[in-house]
Chains A and B, each alone.
Chain A
Amino acid sequence: MVTRAAKELVDGDTTLVGVGVPNLACNLAKRTHAPDLEMVYESGTVGSDPSKLPLSIGDPVLATNARSIVPMVQGFGYYLQSGRIDVGFLGGAQIDRHGNINSTVIGEYDDPIVRLPGSGGACEIASNTHRTIVITPHSERRFPEEVDFVTSPGYVEGRENRGQLGLRGGPEAVITDMAVMRFDDAGEMYVESLHPGVDRETVWSETDWDLQFAADLTTTEPPTDREIDLIRNELDPEGIYTGP
């Protein structure tokens, strides 16, 4: 997931980085094909150049030697809302066929089964970046037909509808531990490639709707030795995000 997500970043992109796997993917991209990636964090650090993997998006390593540090109102207003952020990374507990993401609550809002942390900046990241990349493990409960709460809007009622509503961009790719998915002209998710060793039936059984597959379905390119080495030995040596 990490290496495939890193590939979605283009050198020179400005990206709004979340903690955990997205953080790892961005730091990996910066050390491989995208050295000029500009990393902006929700906490207001701009152009962070962390000496080690930050523990949270408010970590002091993101502040030291950053290009700039701004209050949240400026980070979200002058940078994100104004359209200066190319790519946003999002995770979530649930994602549906139109890329709407739930990171708020499982069950009824007023009588929750599980109360999750909530949006943070996810709602505005999904609304205002030029493209969003979603990273999530693949399982049936994470891929329901409809999410319990739309924290971060995807292609709400199809692709065209987004622009009419005044939303910028939209989900570009969904990367799981099984596959890479994109969105068709109608704004519906489809599988672009399956990771090595994963078959259609497995993906289907872990998705709660009749997920479509690309006509030219491919196999995801596996990580290179150098990428694995960077992750294991430099970026996540303790295996906090990638396991031992």
Chain B
Amino acid sequence: MPEVVEMDRAIEAAVADGQSLYLGGFTHLIPFAAGHEIIRQGRRDLHLVRATPDLVYDQLVAAGCASEMTFSWAGNPGVGSLRAFRRAVEDGVPNELSIEEYSHFGLVTRLAAGAQDLPFLPLRTYIGSSYPEHTDAIRTVENPYDEGVDEIPVVPPLNPDVAVVRAQRADADGNGQLWGIVGEMVEAAFAADTVVLSVEEFVDSRVIRSDPNRTLIPGSIVDYVVEEPYGSHPSYAQGYYDRDNEAYLDWDRQSASHESTVEWLDEWVYGVENRAEYLEKLDTERFLDLQPRSNYATPVDMGEY
């Protein structure tokens, strides 16, 4: 049974220096609140894992929390570069960051292998590319069957020590329901040793059990569950709020130098106690602009048997 806790307690209990850490999401449902709490608590030497490291990983890197990253696309989505990530890789600022690089399918296949406790999984990617020369874990095995190719690339499992994933809603037992783009969140949660689930809102268990197909993160794999409204801002939560694109554009300017990046961290991360204070600091108008119009899915009839 997961513990229902506040974010600071969840991070304190779940994340330790030197661990591998997955902060979920593909553009959608990025756990910014959790990332900021990790920075505030001063974790060091983390090995960050995700297909698409974005602003929150850039912030963790700039804050000196990370020494390693495993990823497949490191950019500011729809905007450009991750400048702090580039400074770390190109110039070792604020510290060296070693990288282990895949393509999207390679990385999500690693998590899928991790989730299923398999020693490797094959995939039809990497032949003819430069990846095998630089990523030692990408290897090939002989096809033991007569049909198809003689050899096929394989990748090993990836089991993060901790995964922080977000969902729109959960009950107090940590059964998380999410909709919209799910990316590689479910595989990562099942692959991780410890799972922190952070949600927009708590709902009654009857709501969850009325629509079991939507429960992609079962409470049985969750260790800590946190209710954190707007915990994904400036990314979005489908049906709750849109991406705050101004923040993504601002980050591109703000992160132009290490000094200006640290100034931002001082104000928006170190300068606030928690997510509630961060939200208070933001303009209310800004949230109203991010509010989508409602567009409900038609309820399904599960039947009573």
Contacts and interface: CB of A to CB of B under 8 A. Distances in A.
Interface of A: 19, 42-45, 54-60, 62-65, 69, 71-73, 76-77, 80-81, 100, 104, 109-110, 112-115, 117-124, 127-128, 149-153, 156, 162, 165-167
B229 to A, nearest CB: 18
Interface in B99-118: 101-106, 108-109, 112
Contacts of B127: 127, 153, 165-167
Contacts of B82: 117
Contacts of A120: 51-52, 72-73, 103-104
B182 interface: yes
A69 B178 CA distance: 12
Interface in B120-157: 123-131, 133-134, 149, 152
A121 B104 contact: yes
B2 interface: no
A104 to B, nearest CB: 7
A124 B90 CA distance: 26
Given A43-B183, A69-B180, A127 B128 contact: yes
B230 interface: no
Contacts of B28: 43, 58, 60, 63
B44 interface: no
A43 B27 contact: yes
A168 to B, nearest CB: 8
Contact of B104 (A42, A60, A63, A167): A42
29 contacts: A55-B78, A55-B248, A56-B78, A57-B77, A59-B78, A60-B28, A63-B28, A69-B179, A71-B108, A71-B186, A72-B105, A72-B183, A73-B105, A77-B105, A81-B123, A81-B124, A100-B128, A110-B134, A112-B90, A113-B90, A115-B90, A117-B81, A118-B73, A123-B105, A123-B126, A123-B131, A124-B123, A156-B128, A166-B152
B95 interface: no
B21 interface: no
A123 B180 contact: no
Contacts of B128: 100, 127, 150, 153, 156, 162, 165, 167
Contacts of B32: none
Interface stretch (B10-18, B238-246, B259-267, B269-277): B238-246
A63 to B, nearest CB: 4
B187 interface: yes
A170 to B, nearest CB: 10
B108 A153 contact: no
Contacts of B52: 58, 120
A87 B300 CA distance: 35
Contacts of B181: 43-45, 58, 60, 62-63, 69
Contact of A124 (B89, B104, B130, B183): B104
Given A69-B182, A127-B125, 6 more contacts: A42-B104, A80-B105, A118-B101, A119-B101, A123-B129, A166-B152
Contacts of B236: 60
Listed from nearest, the 10 A-B pairs whose CB atoms lie closest are: A58-B27, A153-B128, A56-B78, A117-B75, A120-B73, A123-B103, A56-B77, A119-B103, A76-B105, A156-B128
Interface residues on B, range: 35 or more
A72 B184 contact: yes
Contacts, number: 172
A72 B245 contact: no
Contacts of A19: 77-78
B242 A60 contact: yes
Given A81-B105, A109-B134, A121-B104, A151 B129 contact: yes
A104 B180 CA distance: 29
Nearest to A54: B78
Contacts of A162: 128
B295 interface: yes
Contacts of B42: none
Interface in B47-93: 51-52, 71-75, 77-78, 81-82, 85-86, 89-90
Interface centre among B109, B130, B238 (most CB of A within 10 A): B130
A66 B25 CA distance: 19
A73 B216 CA distance: 14
B121 to A, nearest CB: 10
A57 B130 contact: no
Given A72-B108, A72-B184, A122 B103 contact: yes
B257 to A, nearest CB: 17
A79 B200 CA distance: 31
B124 A128 contact: yes
B292 interface: yes
Contact of B238 (A63, A150, A165): A63
Contacts of A121: 73, 103-105
B26 interface: yes
